[in-house]
Amino acid sequence: MASPTTKSFDLAVLRRVLAFARPYKRRLWSSIALAIVLALFTPVRPWLIQLTIQKYIANEMAEMVIRVTIYQIAFLLLETALRFVFSYLTSWLGQAVVKDLRTTTYKKVLGLNLRQFDRTPIGTLTTRTVDDIERINDIFSDGLIPILADLLSIICVLVYMFATHWQLTLVCLIPFPVLIVATYYFKESVNKSFHRVRNAVSDLNAFVQEHLTGMYIVQAFAAEDREMDRFRTINKEHRDANIKAIFAYSVFFPVVEIVLATSTGLIVWFVTHPNVSSGVITSFILCLNLLFRPLRVIADKFNVLQMGLISGERVFKVLDNDDYTRDTGTHDPARVDGRIDFEGVSFGYTPEHPVLKNVSFSVPPGKTVAIVGHTGSGKTTIISLLNRLYEVGEGTIRMDGVPVGEWKLDALRRHVGVVLQDVFLFSGSVRDNLTLRNPAIPQERVEAAAKLIGMHDFIGRLPGGYDYNVMERGATLSLGQRQLLSFIRALLYDPAVLVLDEATSSIDTESEALIEGAIQTLIAGRTSVIIAHRLSTIQRADLILVLDKGELKEMGTHRELLQKSGFYHRLYEMQFEKKIISAPER
């Protein structure tokens, strides 16, 4: 049995869904008005047939039968037209709400703190943004308003039956308690199954999305059979949840047919009553069908409504997530010098595992700072905090003396350009990936930046040149080529602060030599933060920060740190020794 809390929560979800229908309230009220009109139309046909049999067949046979038949045909055409309009209105309303809700949800997803993407599988967010919202459409097209129309139709038919012959009506309704009990248990069973179905769909989407993205790893390590076994397990859960719902349907519909047959039999049994005419008997048989037709589907529609509400609950969990980057700052200067100050910054992706511990340093405008350290020491975290991909736990980060939280978010990120080790390219043309579809960047600037990096000739040799489709994640390009494209992208946005996060780690020696001059041109007069494992790439940095387990161990120039014979010196010697060992014998 559903608890009062669950029911009140369903009503809360329904109210929030209906709030998205507010801009379309004229169509909403029109569909409700049509539902009422169609409900009032429901008992008219049985009444006309009763009238035909009871009065006119007995008296003015031919003429009146023709007249009433014409009335019935005209009424049927009118009812059909109204039902078409009703169906179109409810479906249109559902699609309009889905469009607005999907836009609102995707906008919220775009602003979520990155830790949400660290914790939530991409397939789950995809399901909630696309599939779950599509199910909310059913609340309007097959759920709430159609249920209201069916309930009103049932009420109108019952009123007509009681007004015509209340004793026969009571006899017909004797089996109805059985139907009410069956409907309740059917609703509860299917509701639980639909919860399982939605969770299984989410798991399936998450699994398939993750493994299609990582198919190279699956095949490279011959893990196809193991991953197929995992897929079978998830898919079996989806099947079992659906079968349980199918079983409930298989039991419920025969019960409805048995109750209908019993009610019809009771009418036949009651025919011997002297006060019941043949017209009343005929109209009551028609009324039973008009009663049972909505009753057959009302439980199904209620579960469609429940499924929409379940999906709505999942979507509103995304909308109610308050772990997002709040854009409350107002600082948006026309000119940025690029001074960076970290003051006692501590941060952890989870409270119990700090990544940075009381880190403080300053970078003057136009200078280059390099950050080195073992994997997991917190190097990338520093740049993620600088452009507010994550919020600072303790301490303050300033740019040009202003805390980053006081900057307008787009202004801050516009002035901090990032070149990552793992370059992400979207499916689309080379030009779209370089400009990120920014119409303010002309083709001339794109080509000039490509020439500076030394990629213009390479792009020109691609089929279609700058219109070449790089496919999803840049699958048709090598890792080094993708990183070179990311350099062009950074150049085009001309940031005041440039961050290179292991930007040359996957580039061969020839490519590295190609872009070395471009890097020097790029960082000239610009504040730069370079993260690198290869210490040879950072020796000319104005300041080197040495991190270990989230703590700032040493700070100084390359020469100063070597003279200290400390942590940096040991890192340098380890890399130098590796080069000697790996050098070929002559």
Query: Which residues have CB under 8 Å from 198's CB, separation 6+?
Result: 132, 135, 307, 310, 311, 314
pLDDT score at 342: 93
Model confidence band, residue 427 (pLDDT cutoffs 50, 70, 90)? confident
Q: Which of 237-241, 271-275, 418-422, 479-483 has the lowest mean pLDDT?
A: 271-275
> Residues 476-491: pLDDT tens digits?
777 777 877 888 888 8
Buried-state track 2-16, b at ≥16 Cβ within 10 A, e below 16: eeeeeeeebeebbeb
- 533 or 148, higher pLDDT: 148
Please report the DSSP string for 423-445 in residue order.
----SSBHHHHHHTT-TTS-HHH
Model confidence band, residue 9 (pLDDT cutoffs 50, 70, 90)? very low
Buried-state track 319-344, b at ≥16 Cβ within 10 A, e below 16: eeeeeebeeebeeeeeebebbbbbbe
Mean pLDDT value across the chain: 77
User: For 532, left (φ over 0), alpha (ψ -120 to 50), or beta?
Assistant: beta
Work out the burial of residue 350: count CB atoms within 10 Å of its CB; fewer than 13 is exposed, 13-18 middle, 19 or more buried: exposed
Please give the Cα distance from 210 to 207 (Å, whole number): 5
The strand order across the sheet containing 353-363 reads: 353-363, 340-350, 394-399, 402-403
Model confidence band, residue 400 (pLDDT cutoffs 50, 70, 90)? very high
pLDDT score at 339: 92
pLDDT score at 1: 44
Please give the Cα distance from 73 to 582 (Å, whole number): 93
From residue 50, give the alpha-carbon distance in Å to each of 128, 164, 282, 333, 572: 52, 10, 7, 82, 100
pLDDT score at 5: 47
The β-bridge relationship of strands 340-350 and 353-363 is antiparallel
- 68 or 522, higher pLDDT: 522
Containing 548, the helix (H) or strand (E) segment is: strand 543-548
> Residues 285-329: pLDDT tens digits?
778 877 877 777 776 677 777 777 777 887 888 888 777 777 888
Query: Which residues have CB under 8 Å from 37's CB, separation 6+?
Result: 82
For residue 273, pLDDT over 70 is answered with no
Range 479-504 average pLDDT: 79
For residue 10, pLDDT over 60 is answered with yes
For residue 277, pLDDT over 50 is answered with yes
Report the SS3 class of residue 542. coil
Work out the burial of residue 25: count CB atoms within 10 Å of its CB; fewer than 13 is exposed, 13-18 middle, 19 or more buried: exposed
Please give the Cα distance from 403 to 409 (Å, whole number): 12
Range 92-116 average pLDDT: 79
For residue 113, pLDDT over 80 is answered with no
**Pair of tokens at residue 101:** 């809700």
For residue 230, pLDDT over 50 is answered with yes
Model confidence band, residue 259 (pLDDT cutoffs 50, 70, 90)? confident
Report the SS3 class of residue 181. helix
Model confidence band, residue 346 (pLDDT cutoffs 50, 70, 90)? very high
Q: For the chain, what is the radius of gyration of the CA atoms?
A: 35
Query: Do the beta carbons of residue 395 and residue 570 sit within 8 Å?
Result: no
Report the SS3 class of residue 170. helix
> Residues 156-176: pLDDT tens digits?
888 888 888 888 888 888 888
For residue 340, pLDDT over 90 is answered with yes
For residue 355, pLDDT over 80 is answered with yes
**Pair of tokens at residue 55:** 């009065």
- Domains (ranges, CATH) in the chain? 22-319 (1.20.1560.10), 340-582 (3.40.50.300)
Query: Do the beta carbons of residue 139 and residue 305 sit within 8 Å?
Result: yes
Q: Which residue has the tokens 């489709």?
A: 469
pLDDT score at 512: 62
Whole-number percent of the chain with pLDDT over 90: 5
Model confidence band, residue 361 (pLDDT cutoffs 50, 70, 90)? very high
pLDDT score at 585: 41
Q: Which of 300, 287, 51 is nearest to 161 (CA)?
A: 287
Please report the DSSP string for 95-148 in residue order.
HHHHHHHHHHHHHHHHHB-HHHHHHS-HHHHHIIIIIHHHHHHHIIIIIHHHHH
> Residues 443-481: pLDDT tens digits?
988 888 888 777 888 888 888 888 888 876 666 777 777
Q: φ, ψ for residue 390 (rounded to 5)?
A: -130, 155
Model confidence band, residue 397 (pLDDT cutoffs 50, 70, 90)? very high
pLDDT score at 475: 67
297-301 own/partner pairs: CB under 8 Å, 24+ apart: 297/150, 298/147, 298/150, 298/151, 298/183, 299/183, 299/186, 299/187, 299/190, 299/252, 300/249, 301/142, 301/143, 301/146, 301/147, 301/150
- 49 or 539, higher pLDDT: 539
Q: φ, ψ for residue 420 (rounded to 5)?
A: -95, 160
pLDDT score at 81: 81
For residue 366, pLDDT over 60 is answered with yes
Please give the Cα distance from 350 to 347 (Å, whole number): 9
Range 333-340 average pLDDT: 89
Model confidence band, residue 582 (pLDDT cutoffs 50, 70, 90)? very low
Please give the Cα distance from 312 to 334 (Å, whole number): 43
Q: Which of 122, 144, 121, 124 is nearest to 132 (CA)?
A: 124
pLDDT score at 2: 47
Please give the Cα distance from 576 to 122 (Å, whole number): 41
> Residues 541-566: pLDDT tens digits?
889 998 888 889 889 888 888 888 88
Whole-number percent of the chain with pLDDT over 70: 81
100-108 own/partner pairs: CB under 8 Å, 24+ apart: 100/20, 100/23, 101/17, 101/20, 101/133, 101/136, 101/315, 102/129, 102/130, 102/133, 104/20, 104/319, 105/129, 105/133, 105/315, 105/318, 105/319, 108/318, 108/319, 108/321, 108/324
